[in-house]
Structure 1
C-alpha cells in the first residue's frame, strides 16, 4: 500500500514513454469501444475524406483549396488571396489564436484528440493498420519482445511497407494542396526525370510522415507540438476535461467475490490508504484499463496532465467496467475540476465572455474586410534608378512600373487614369484587361508640362478603373526640375 502511495505521488518524476534508464518505452494501447469511440470514428472518417478530397474538389472551374507558396496563390473555400492580402492573413491568424484560446478554456484539449491530423492519422489509420497486421496489444508486445523469426520479419516488413505507402499517399495529398491538382497530375504521370524537384519534394514529405507515424508517434504531441504546453496557461477550474472523479472512485481496489452464492461484496480491497469517510465507497476497481487504452501511456487517475489529449478512450473503457459491476457510468468523464470537487455545472465565466467578445469583434472585422476587398489590386512604383526625362514640347516624363492583380474568376477590363491637371499617361505596352486570377506587369510614362511643375516631388493620384468603376486609388510622386 505504501509503495502505491509513493508511486502516485511521484508519477511526474518520469515520462510515460521512458523507462527507468531513460530509454524509449514503446506504447501498446489496447483497443476499446463505446459511444465516444464511435463518435470519434465518425468525425475521423469525415475529416479524412475532406482532407484527401480537398485538393481535387473544383467549383466552377477553380479549386476549392490551394496553398501555392511558390507562385504566391492561395485559395480558401473558393476565395482567392494574394500576398497583397497579407493583412487578411495576419488578422485571420490572430482570430484563429483567439478561437483556440477560447476553445481550450471551455473544452480543454479536445482538438488534439478529435480533430488534430496527427492524432487522426496515428490512431485511426496507422494504429489500425498495425493492429490488423500484428494483432492486438498483447500480440504486438510479444512480437516486439520475441526473436526475429520468419513470422516477425514478414509482419514487420508488411507493416512498414504499408506505412510507407500511406505516407506516400499523404505526401501526394499535401503536395496537391501546394501545387494544385493539374500540376500534381502532370508530376505523377510525366517522365520523373523532367520533374526532379517535385519528385524530391514528394519523397521528402513521405520520409517525414513515415518518421512521424512509424517512430515518433506520441512524442510529436508531448515534445514537438507547443499546444500541449500552451494549454497549461489556458485551462482553469471550469474548463471541461477528461477527468477522474476521485471523490467517487477512492479508495480504489479489486472487488472480491464472497458468499456461497458467489455474489459480489460491496466492500473493496483497497490498494491505497483509505480515508475513514470513503473506506467502503470507492468505485474504482483498479483494473487499469484506463491506462492500457491510453495512446499517451498516462494514468488519468493522477489528475490533469500535459500528455492527455482528451481522446476519451479511457472514458469508454471505464464506462464498460462500470456497466459490468453495476455501477453508474461517469467515474471518468468530461467534467471540470470544479464539477468534480464541488458538483458545480459548467458556467459561462467572465474570462469566457472576454474571449468571446474579442473573437466576435475579430470575426466582424475580417468579414468586413473580405466584403470590402477590391476585386482588382494594383501596385505602382517609380522605376528604380530613374529620375526624370525631358521630352520635346516642353514636357517632363517619369517611368513607372505597375503590377495589377485580378482577384476574380473572370477577365477584368482595366485602365489607369492619372488625376492631375495637364498630366498624360502612356503605356509602353498597352494593358486592356487582366486574365482571371492572374497577375500582369507593365510599365508606363507620366508626362507633365515643365511649366506646371512647382516642386521637386509632385504628389500624384492614379485611379485604377474596372470598366467605369474606380476599384483602387494609388498615391505616388512625380520627380521634375525646379528652376
Structure 2
C-alpha cells in the first residue's frame, strides 16, 4: 500500500482505515496533544498583565503575543520572528525530520487525537469502520454516521469560535455570542464559514492535507540528509522478511521482520515504512509502537522500526551533531539574541511624525515660518500616559491644533500641530528638525522630520 496512491485505479478516493494501537509513544503523543488542546481552547481567555496570551487582529492592527502588545510599527519584529521560526523549522527538520507534523502540527493533533478518536468511539476500529462503510444504509449505519458527523460539526464549531477569538479577541467573540445576531452579521457568518471549513477538512480532506496540500512534506526532501533522525525501518536487521516458521533453521535464514503488515495498517497516510523514507510519512511513530508489540511477542529486540538516520542503519554509527547542524544552530542563536534585544529594548510609547502632504510653509507674525504636521502616538502599555511633544532646539515652537494629551492604555491618538521656526534660523529649503516625545519630564523618543521654508541668503 503506497501513500502516493491516494486514489484507486478507477480514480476513486482511496479511503484510509488506520488501526489504533496504543503503545508508549502513542501515550506520549496523547499527553502532548492534551496540553496543546487545553492551551488552544483556553488561550484567548488567559491574560498576562491584562493582555491576552495571543491576539492577531489584522483588521484593527492589534497584535499581542505572550501578553506583549505589538503594533504595525513593530513589523520588523514580526519579520525577524518569522525568520527565526523558519530557520528553526529547517534545523528541526535537518535533525529530526518531519516529527513536527506527527507531534505538534494542529492538523495532526485535531485529526488523530480528536476526530479520529470520535470515529473509533462510535464506529469501532479499522475493520468495523470499513465494514460499516461497505454495507447498505440501515438503521445502525444511519445512527452511527449521524452521531459521528454531528459531533464533528460540534467540535468544528468549537474550534471555529476559538480560532476567531484569536483574531478578534475573546471580548468581541462573547459579544457575538450573547448579543443579537443583527448586530454582528459579519462575525456570525465568519463563525459558520470557519466551522464548515474545519468540518470538511477533518471529515473529508483528512490526510490529504499532509500528503497533497501541505508543502512541508516536499520541503523535507531537500533538507534531509544521511544524518537526519527519522522514523525508519532497519532493513539490515529486518531483511529478508518472511513469516515465522516452526523450522528453527529456516527462521535463522530470515530477518526479524515477519511481514505482518501492521506497520502499514496503523499508518494514517497509508504508506509502507519498509519502502524507505517517504514524503507522506509524518513521523507519528504509530508504526514504531505496533512493530515493538510484535517484536516483544516473538522475543526479538525492539525498534526494528525506530528513530534512525541512514548512517545509523547502514554504517552502524551513533547520531552525530554535524557541522551543518552547528551552523544552523549558530544562526538561530544570533537571530534569537537580536530579536530578544529589540523586544526588550523597545519603548512603551512610540511616535510617528509626518509633515502635511502637499502643504507649503506659512509665514507667521513675529518673523516665524510654520509647517503643519500629523503625528500618531501609541501607548503600548495598559496604563494611561500623559505626553507632550517638544522640539530639541529651544528656538523652535510647537503650536497644537489637536494636542495628544492623555493616551489610554493599549490605544493610539492622532495629533496635529504647527512647528514654528524663526526665519533667521532657516538657511536651506529643507531643514531637519528634532522632536522629543516627553512623558513625566522624561524623553521617551526622539525623531527627526523635514521642515520646508524660504532660503535666506
Name the TM tier (shorter chain): over 0.9
Q: 1:159 to 1:266 in 2, by over 3 A?
A: farther
Give the aligned partner of residue 430 of structure 1: 403
What is the rounded CA distance, in whole Å, between the counterparts of 2:310 and 2:111 in structure 1?
29
Within-5 A mapping of 1:112-127: 112-127=101-116
What is the rounded CA distance, in whole Å, between the counterparts of 1:312 and 1:326 in structure 2?
21
The one-character-per-residue Cα deviations of 1:64-110 (angstroms, maximum 9, x if unpaired) are 22111111111111111111001111010111111111111111111
The one-character-per-residue Cα deviations of 1:7-49 (angstroms, maximum 9, x if unpaired) are xxxx77x823221233210000000021101101111101111
What is the rounded CA distance, in whole Å, between the counterparts of 2:111 and 2:224 in structure 1?
26
Q: Verify the 8 A CA contact 2:377 2:404 in the aligned structure 1.
A: no
Give the aligned partner of residue 271 of structure 1: none
Give the aligned partner of residue 57 of structure 1: 46
Within-5 A mapping of 1:226-237: 226-237=215-226
What is the rounded CA distance, in whole Å, between the counterparts of 1:266 and 1:309 in structure 2?
38
Name whichever of 408-417 and 113-122 sits farther off. 408-417
Q: With structure 2 as the length reference, what TM-score do the two structures score?
A: 0.97
Give the aligned partner of residue 475 of structure 1: 448
Residue 188 (str. 1) matches residue 209 (str. 2): no
Give the aligned partner of residue 394 of structure 1: 367
What is the rounded CA distance, in whole Å, between the counterparts of 1:369 and 1:295 in structure 2?
43
What is the rounded CA distance, in whole Å, between the counterparts of 1:318 and 1:362 in structure 2?
41
Give the aligned partner of residue 327 of structure 2: 354
Residue 267 (str. 1) matches residue 250 (str. 2): yes
Name whichever of 422-431 and 202-211 sits farther off. 422-431
Name whichever of 392-401 and 204-213 sits farther off. 392-401
Give the aligned partner of residue 242 of structure 1: 231
Give the aligned partner of residue 32 of structure 2: 43
What is the rounded CA distance, in whole Å, between the counterparts of 2:201 and 2:450 in structure 1?
54
Query: Where has structure 1 moved over 4 Å in runs of 4 or more?
Result: none
- Of 277, 280, 284, 1:307 maps to 280
Q: With structure 1 as the length reference, what TM-score do the two structures score?
A: 0.92
Name whichever of 74-83 and 430-439 sits farther off. 430-439
What is the rounded CA distance, in whole Å, between the counterparts of 2:436 and 2:161 in structure 1?
44
What is the rounded CA distance, in whole Å, between the counterparts of 1:266 and 1:365 in structure 2?
64
Residue 366 of structure 1 and its aligned partner are, at CA, apart by 0.6
Give the aligned partner of residue 379 of structure 2: 406
Q: Verify the 8 A CA contact 1:171 1:202 in the aligned structure 2.
A: yes
CA RMSD of aligned residues (A): 1.4
- Of 346, 349, 358, 1:376 maps to 349
Give the aligned partner of residue 298 of structure 2: 325
Residue 126 of structure 1 and its aligned partner are, at CA, apart by 0.2
Give the aligned partner of residue 295 of structure 1: 268
The answer for unaligned runs of 5 or more in structure 2 is none
**Residue-pair matches, total:** 456
Give the aligned partner of residue 212 of structure 1: 201
Give the aligned partner of residue 148 of structure 2: 159
Give the aligned partner of residue 339 of structure 2: 366
Give the aligned partner of residue 33 of structure 1: 22
What is the rounded CA distance, in whole Å, between the counterparts of 1:267 and 1:39 in structure 2?
38
Q: Verify the 8 A CA contact 2:57 2:63 in the aligned structure 1.
A: yes
